[in-house]
Amino acid sequence: MIHPTAIIDKEAILEEPVNIGAYAVIEKNVRIGKNVTICPYAHIAGNTTIGDNNFIGTGAVIGQMPQILGIKENLGRLFIGNNNVIREYVTIHTSSLADKTTTIGNNNYFMAFSHIAHDCEITNNVVICNGSLIAGHVQINENAFISGNVVVHQFVRIGRLAMIGGLSRVNQDVLPFMLLVGDSKIWGLNLVGLKRKGFGSKEIAEIKKAFNIIYRSKLSLSNAVRLLKNMSSKYVEEIIEFILSSKRGICGPHRSTFFEKLFLDYPYLFLLKIPTYKFFIKSYTKSIS
């Protein structure tokens, strides 16, 4: 089903069946798999390959050249896997070089107005919410959740099952399983995501112990890693490997003043059903000592 007003270059390759809406534009170097829906006014350009069973929403712009000063020709590539949902006005750019590829895996969900820049690698089962901006060369691993209006600095890596809170700024790597809120600060574990993925109490306790060693023990990162190596857990090993492979460094812990805890942190913890009175008593005792 191809609307008669759609503009499709003769050299574009479309596998059947496809559903292309009114005034959609598909340029010559585009390959589109089976059972793909392209809504009205979407524009598919560049050396772009799109797999099967994808949904591309109204006004989405897929495969345009990177937003890099001095680039005048779209030589890069974009690969999109299967079963992705790309909603209204999402923008995804090709890579910066002909021998590189911007890569989108399978089963991802990109909400309206989100942006994926050049040379990014989005793996599988990732959710990126409305208005979030992912800069160039960013890697987002499986089952990560990026809330609305988040900005991620270029070359940052976001670990598996990490969650980024809304309106956050991410300028360093985010460890797997962590919850980041605000200005690149780790608040705790992504407990909701872990439980939804079937992590048991034992596994969560292992990850929590690793979190406490890294972010609560006041050890240097190198000493924390040495301590983590004594733990027998595949999830802790994943965290260690992520730390050792980091080039930008990892996001630090969230530490607030007493009044920030009272007026900002505690209401948030209350919503998470955490017994905040224990933190209040501890903080109050420190403040008067």
Q: Which residues are catalytic?
A: 118-119, 136
Q: What does the H/E/C string look like for 130-197?
A: CCCEECCCCEECCCCEECCCCEECCCCEECCCCEECCCCEECCEECCCEEEECECEEEEECHHHHHHC
Bridge partners for 168 per DSSP: none
Spatial separation of the C-alpha atoms in residues 118 and 72, rounded to whole Å: 14
Exposed, middle or buried: residue 256 (CB in 10 Å: 0-12, 13-18, 19+)? middle
Q: Is 131 left (phi over 0), alpha (psi -120 to 50) or beta?
A: left
Spatial CA neighbour of 31 closest among 62, 5, 2, 6? 62
Structural contact between residues 58 and 89, judged by C-beta atoms closer than 8 angstroms: yes
> Quick one: tokens of 210?
């690793």
Residue 50 CB-density burial (10 A; 0-12 exposed, 13-18 middle, 19+ buried): buried
